[in-house]
Amino acid sequence: MRALWGLAGIAAVIGCSIVAAVGLENGEKRSGFDFMTPETQALQADDTSNPGMLWVLQGEQLWQQPEDSANIACAGCHGDAAQTMRGVAARYPAFDEATRRPIDLAGRINSCRGVKQQAEPMAPDSDELLALTTYVAHQSRGMPITPAADSRLEPFRDKGRRLFQSRIGQLDLSCAACHDDNWGRRLGGSVIPQAHPNGYPLYRLEWQGVGSLQRRLRNCMIGVRAEPFAFGAPEFVDLELYLMERARGLPMETPAVRP
């Protein structure tokens, strides 16, 4: 019954999409925070109540922990994260010289583990990788998203834009159909946000844990009856690259809290 209701709700949204929301066209950008209930906003705003801070604390411990044969901790190279990592998450994904394509923050952490720490990569969306990524991203909280000014990223950002606008799945929907044309409307009782990535990794009440942007994108793909890309797929990084450009100027909120 819930699935049928969800399909009916999506159909209703499609039916009323001829009245496009002009906010994004006019340059208005609103964080998902603005669409939450006052109770959930308060949960995010209070660090003593925000459950995502548990992952920040775990990440801080991992930052100081030497790894494997190299016996090097993240802090051994980068020092105090509050100083050296401030602003880093606000400009990722960035161009990676080794692969000649964009790499996201979690990918950079795993790359550094392999090259510098001689350690095995952490599993995608594992608590350890989420904790380190959340800890690093938390150092940029409150800073505006400022995508890297690197011309080498442009072809990949354009691929991300096309992915955002392409209809997929059995429901024949694109990301833009919901998050550009119908943001602010309701779908199944929930307000459709503008899909900005400024709070990731974030704590979702639905998940009862912290998750990555890629996990959320996979959920959306499954929701429109499409085959989701694998964790770490280049398409996800390209899409994040575009989403960060689309969210330029919004403040980082990691760890955000969402329904």
Q: Do 21 and 115 fall into the same domain?
A: no
Model confidence, pTM: 0.89
What is the chain's Cα-based Rg? 18
Q: Do 113 and 170 fall into the same domain?
A: no
Write down which residue in 79, 111, 138 finishes a domain: 138
| 14 or 50, greater pLDDT | 50
**pLDDT of 126:** 96
Q: What's the token pair of residue 254? A: 């990691």
Q: How many domains does the chain have?
A: 2
Q: Do 160 and 211 fall into the same domain?
A: yes
Asked if the structure places residue 122 within a domain, the reply is yes
Residues 131-137: what's their mean pLDDT?
98
Asked if the structure places residue 146 within a domain, the reply is no
Any catalytic annotation for residue 220?
yes
How far is it, in rounded angstroms, from Cα 259 to Cα 89? Answer: 23
Among residues 88, 91, 107, 109, the alpha carbon closest in space to that of 99 is found at: 107
Q: What's the token pair of residue 186? A: 């309701």
Among residues 95, 107, 221, 105, the alpha carbon closest in space to that of 163 is found at: 221
Residue 74 lies in domain: 53-138
Q: How does residue 182 score in pLDDT terms, banded at 50, 70 and 90? A: very high
Angstrom CA distances, 69 to 65, 116, 120, stand at 13, 10, 11
Tell me the residue type at 163: L
| CA angle, 148 then 221 then 238, to 5° | 20
**pLDDT of 69:** 76
| CA angle, 187 then 190 then 195, to 5° | 85
C-beta of residue 228 within 8 angstroms of C-beta of residue 221: yes
How far is it, in rounded angstroms, from Cα 61 to Cα 55? Answer: 10
pLDDT at 24 over 70: no
Asked if the structure places residue 144 within a domain, the reply is no
pLDDT at 22 over 70: no
> Which of 16, 77, 175, 220 is an active site residue?
220
Q: Do 118 and 174 fall into the same domain?
A: no
Asked if the structure places residue 240 within a domain, the reply is yes
Residues linked to residue 204 through DSSP beta bridges, in sequence order: 209, 258
Q: How does residue 190 score in pLDDT terms, banded at 50, 70 and 90? A: confident
How far is it, in rounded angstroms, from Cα 121 to Cα 129? Answer: 9
Among residues 144, 137, 170, 163, the alpha carbon closest in space to that of 59 is found at: 137
Tell me the residue type at 147: P
pLDDT at 44 over 50: yes
